[in-house]
Amino acid sequence: MAVKGGPADNRTRSTVSICIVIGLCCFFYILGAWQKSGFGKGDSIALEITKRTDCTILPNLSFDTHHSKQGSSRDLVSPVKKFKPCPDRFTDYTPCQDQNRAMKFPRENMNYRERHCPPQKEKLHCLVPPPKGYVAPFPWPKSRDYVPFANCPYKSLTVEKAIQNWVQYEGNVFRFPGGGTQFPQGADKYIDQLASVIPIANGTVRTALDTGCGVASWGAYLLKRNVLAMSFAPRDSHEAQVQFALERGVPAVIGVLGTIKLPYPSRAFDMAHCSRCLIPWGMNDGLYMMEVDRVLRPGGYWVLSGPPINWKANYKGWQRTKEDLEAEQNKIEEMAKLLCWEKVSEKGETAIWRKRVNTESCPSRLEESTVQMCESTNADDVWYEEDEGMCYTSS
């Protein structure tokens, strides 16, 4: 049985605890007084800490400004280098597409229309001025149909393409009815014709490439169908048509399908398009069609509208001989088979091919041919890389 302590025991424990607390307090008080008196090391420790934190003890520190010779607050900001405006003759200047310099390059494979950046000594060191009276472009969707005349003061297209409804001049604005060389009734109706063959409405086609785009009405009208088109065209005698496209708010670049690859990765587009883009598809052993094949995804579509399609009915209007047009279409058809494209439609002056998903089952690959495709080292290595041609083997 446990024995409980009495009241006397509890009083004894309380007395001992109080004594211990009082003793500790006295001890720390005496220790503090001893260190403060100078006999301990408290002052030496405090002095060492002070040396490390008190900047006045370190004579080598300088808080003068190091950004100017005078140390004045006015010189804290480096002077801004100002560029003077270029002369007005450079209003339409594009650095890597200078017309005068371009004519000095070879014309073979459209080399002279490719990008050729100027050497260091020919680069401008001034600001290219906008056209006089330039104003902010209209917001989308108004910009699709209207562009201020002051932003692109060039009327040549309104005369040369008047019957094709490319662009019309109305007062102080240009109006774009949506027409094109192959679709004078408007891009909407033309796209409806394509959509009867190509599944545009269901989201299968989301990206498109428009070669030789002109003022890019095809790409402009694809936007409302949730298709984003990248358009390009060379800088030609009609001034910079691409500038009209950019003012309209349509993605576009100055470019040409020629000696170097397009600046896009492989399989980037669901659809590629040429509406009388004047690209010689049958020349150079199919070089240009091979480049389209590189950027077109498996299952993607290629649209060719205009010469030489349906040449038998149109050769007189195109002012070319039957033999010339027939030979060109035969080369295109042959190259399409080698690329494993399947022709899905030809109606009027528009033909549509579809790139097969599985090239191993392509009939032309099973046949013996004297032409074989060159294997690319890197299909996405495209920046200023030359187009690859065909590899020939003996039959």
Q: What's the mean pLDDT in 82-94?
A: 89
- Angstrom CA distances, 86 to 89, 127, 146, 243, 382, stand at 8, 5, 29, 19, 33
Percentage of the chain beyond pLDDT 70 is: 74
- Angstrom CA distances, 356 to 117, 302, 337, 353, stand at 38, 11, 10, 9
Model confidence at 394, in pLDDT bands (50, 70, 90)?
Answer: very low
Model confidence at 66, in pLDDT bands (50, 70, 90)?
Answer: low
Q: What's the mean pLDDT in 198-221?
A: 95
| Identity at 347, one-letter amino acid code | K
Report how far residue 293's alpha carbon sits from residue 341's, in angstroms, rounded to the nearest whole number: 9
Domain extents in the chain: 185-392
DSSP letters for 233-266:
E--BTTB-HHHHHHHHT--EEE--SSSB--SS-T
Provide CATH code, domain 185-392.
3.40.50.150
pLDDT at 156: 87
Identify the weakest region by mean pLDDT among 83-87, 100-104, 221-225. Answer: 100-104
- 239 Cα distance to chain centroid: 23
- DSSP 3-state assignment of 111? helix
Q: What's the mean pLDDT in 296-310?
A: 96
Q: What's the mean pLDDT in 40-67?
A: 49
Helix ranges, the chain (H): 7-36, 42-53, 99-102, 142-145, 156-160, 187-195, 217-222, 241-248, 287-295, 311-314, 322-338, 363-366
The rounded mean pLDDT for the chain is 81
DSSP state of 149: G
Q: What's the mean pLDDT in 358-376?
A: 57
Report how far residue 387's alpha carbon sits from residue 2's, in angstroms, rounded to the nearest whole number: 103
Model confidence at 395, in pLDDT bands (50, 70, 90)?
Answer: very low
Which residues, in sequence order, are bridge partners of residue 252? Answer: 231
Per-residue pLDDT at 7 exceeds 50: yes
Identify the burial level of 239 via C-beta atoms within 10 angstroms of its C-beta, where 0-12 means exposed, 13-18 middle and 19 or more buried: middle
pLDDT at 391: 41
Identify the burial level of 183 via C-beta atoms within 10 angstroms of its C-beta, where 0-12 means exposed, 13-18 middle and 19 or more buried: buried
Identify the burial level of 355 via C-beta atoms within 10 angstroms of its C-beta, where 0-12 means exposed, 13-18 middle and 19 or more buried: buried
pLDDT at 303: 98
pLDDT in tens, 238-248: 566 899 999 99
278 Cβ partners below 8 Å, 6+ apart?
Answer: 212
pLDDT in tens, 312-366: 888 888 888 999 999 999 999 999 999 999 999 999 999 999 999 986 767 655 4
